Amino acid sequence: MSSVGPVFKGIKMIPPGPHFVYYSSSNRDGNEFSPIVGFFIDACSSEVIVCKWHQQEERLVKLSEDEEERYSAAVKKLEFDHQLGPYDLDHYGDWKRISNYITKDTIKRIEPLGGEITVVCEAGLVDTGPKSAAEKALAEQLQNSKFSIPAEKPLKRRCYYTPIPRFVKNKSISGQELTSLNHDKTQLLETILAKDFGGAEEFILGELQFAYIAFLMGQSLEAFLQWKALVSLFFSCIEAPLHTRSQLFTKFIKVLYYQLSYGLQKDRSNTIAVEKGATVLLDDSWLTRDSFLHRFCKDFFSLVLEASIIDGDLLTWTRKLKELLEDTLGWEFQQSNAVDGIYAEEDDEFAPVVEILDDSSFGEATTS
């Protein structure tokens, strides 16, 4: 994130593929900033991203088709060349590693109406379910924000993420089978892959990357909750990583490794963001030792590292992820006692639940 001057018109020399554009407007003194607004684009080779500033609403807006044609013609004639900033190729390698499964179809399927992603449209998420300390802080910031939009707009400007059930209910199976399905979410993963992604593994990984980028760079609480739900679904599988979906889980661990490797960098030069308090990298409070990610990783690492037979690539990347978390966050994953691997927090919505259900409480898979 960097500041731009009054003659800035856009960015040139953009590599082809998906990109995420995000910005935050400030007051005249430059000491107060609005919540970040971002949107995905899919750039053609050598394309220029050109947006215009909406003075009344103080935000960037995409060009209409007619405006896009006129601007494109002007760009080709180099009329704006002195007003265009070059794409920062130094960070392109990092970007490719955290967005390689995002396609134009991914963007089209998930993005909200109008394309803009902002936490301001997510007020309805503030009171839904238990939260970590970081989630509570972001929710409080949203509640106290001076920036608002008309009440009818939030629902129209939310992303179309795939619903991920927190647990499975099914009236046609026994209680023992139901407990087994919730202990090992392999069957739920298979159902979601077939129903929502047409069996294409790269599509669910694309959504995982979309959500992470929208959260990390766009500060979207909804995106974080979707990323958390997808990560939790993967880590709740036992049969899939060991037998039926080893290659998918190798890709998943690799995606997660690059996401966390990028987000946990402490030496990235986002001077404007740091000075003005606009966090674009992962704060430690999102990944504390009592977070959902630490508990899931602990069980998953034990599952993979102690397996008698395991895919070689999955083992390699699991070890790399474990080392990253140990070295960067100082996490430890040794089981200290027999019950240490059981989730202990009473308000953890991802903790395993064993319950006796009567006929009146049964239903199909529910979502949150």
- Confidence grade of residue 56 (pLDDT, cut at 50, 70, 90): very low
Looking at residue 115, its pLDDT comes to 87
Looking at residue 131, its pLDDT comes to 60
Looking at residue 68, its pLDDT comes to 73
Is residue 316 pLDDT above 90, yes or no? yes
Q: Domains, the chain, ranges and CATH?
A: 10-118 (no CATH), 154-361 (1.25.40.550)
Is residue 134 pLDDT above 90, yes or no? no
Looking at residue 176, its pLDDT comes to 61
Per-residue pLDDT of 324-356, as tens digits, reads: 999 988 898 875 444 444 444 434 554 444 443
Mean pLDDT of 298-314: 94
Burial class (CB in 10 A: 0-12, 13-18, 19+), 349: middle
Query: 154-158, 189-193, 317-321: lowest mean pLDDT where?
Result: 154-158
Q: Are strands 84-86 and 10-14 parallel, antiparallel or unpaired?
A: parallel
- Confidence grade of residue 130 (pLDDT, cut at 50, 70, 90): low
The percentage of the chain sitting over the pLDDT mark of 70, rounded to a whole number, equals: 61
74-88, 129-143, 273-287, 303-317 — most confident range: 303-317
Looking at residue 231, its pLDDT comes to 96
Query: 12-21, 171-180, 356-365: lowest mean pLDDT where?
Result: 356-365
Looking at residue 357, its pLDDT comes to 42
Looking at residue 359, its pLDDT comes to 38
- Confidence grade of residue 189 (pLDDT, cut at 50, 70, 90): very high
Looking at residue 98, its pLDDT comes to 97
Cα separation of 117 and 112, whole Å? 7
Cα separation of 317 and 357, whole Å? 39
Per-residue pLDDT of 236-250, as tens digits, reads: 999 999 999 999 999
Cα separation of 198 and 168, whole Å? 20
Query: 145-154, 172-181, 184-193: lowest mean pLDDT where?
Result: 145-154
| Summary mean pLDDT of the chain | 76
**Is 67 strand, coil or helix?**
helix
In the chain, the N- to C-terminal Cα span, in Å, equals: 33
Contacts 24+ apart (CB under 8 A), 124-129: 124/154, 124/155, 125/221, 125/222, 125/225, 128/368, 129/349, 129/368
Q: pTM of the full predicted structure?
A: 0.78
Q: Between residues 260 and 148, which one has the greater pLDDT?
A: 260
Looking at residue 50, its pLDDT comes to 56
Q: Which amino acid is present at 350?
A: F
Q: Between residues 357 and 141, which one has the greater pLDDT?
A: 141
Asked if 195 and 203 touch (Cβ cutoff 8 Å), the reply is no
Per-residue pLDDT of 106-120, as tens digits, reads: 999 999 988 888 887
